[in-house]
Homo-oligomer: A and B are copies of this chain.
Amino acid sequence: MATDTLATFPRPGLAVDLAILTVTDASTDPALRVLVQDRTDPVGYALPGRFMRERQTTTETARDVFVHKVGIQPGSEIRPRLLRLFDDPDRDERTWAISAAHWIPMREAALESVRGTLVPVSRDGRLDGIDRLLFDHDEIVAGAIQALRKRYDYRRSYDDHTPPDPDGFLAEPFTLHQLRRVHEAVLGERLHKDNFNRRMKQYEFVAPVLNDDESPALAENLRGRPAALYRRAGQAERRPE
């Protein structure tokens, strides 16, 4: 907080832009996607965003973006994560506008009937079939993907006490195969099956589902030996960041 004589200087419009990330078909054919919307003002694709209204917080503004721009009623768990500020005074020729770029992971179930398209992210972090987004939104998407991938690096996560699939893209119960496929979809790279499974079993965060007779519950697969089912264990404890 600064102690200038205030209210006398021009003030910037402050917008919240959201890179909404999700994993679709998490349990069958997981794919990392970003919500992108069509624009007509300048024609092209862009992220949903909105200027902050009087005495709103960024979180409240993000909620408004969901209600008015995305067209869904978000739960209470909305927690946008700040990436950076875009503050080039000439980035909006209409007025002095600063954008607070955020990213937010959402479960696919919460994104039914959204306005816009869930565009798949390719391995190298580009958007499939979209050349470029309007404004500085390509940078926002790149930063969002990088942040999410860092969060889903299961080796780093182990040190940080972050559980696997921390954003819950995959519904319970799940097999380790499904869990690994979700991580692979987020990271854009293959993971070693045995090393991944070994690591997961060391976590306090995943626990096998047991039948009434204490035997491990098994998934009913189409092919191959049935896999054991797991769920997230208690242990929610802290979220360091």
> Which residues of A approach B to under 8 Å, CB–CB?
1-4, 6-7, 9-17, 39, 41, 46, 49-58, 82, 84-89, 91-92, 94-100, 134-137
Contact = CB atoms under 8 A, between A and B. Distances in A.
Chain A binding surface, main DSSP class: loop
Contacts of A16: 2
11 contacts: A1-B15, A1-B86, A1-B134, A1-B136, A1-B137, A6-B94, A55-B89, A57-B89, A58-B87, A82-B82, A82-B84
B46 A95 contact: no
Given A11-B12, A11-B14, A13-B11, A3 B57 contact: no
A2 B51 contact: yes
Given A9-B53, A11-B14, A57-B87, A1 B96 contact: no
A53 to B, nearest CB: 6
Contacts of A89: 55-57
A190 to B, nearest CB: 20
Contacts of A86: 1
Given A1-B97, A6-B97, A11-B13, A58 B85 contact: yes
Contact of A92 (B1, B10, B11, B87): B1
Nearest to A86: B1
Contacts of A92: 1
A10 B54 contact: yes
Contacts of A52: 12
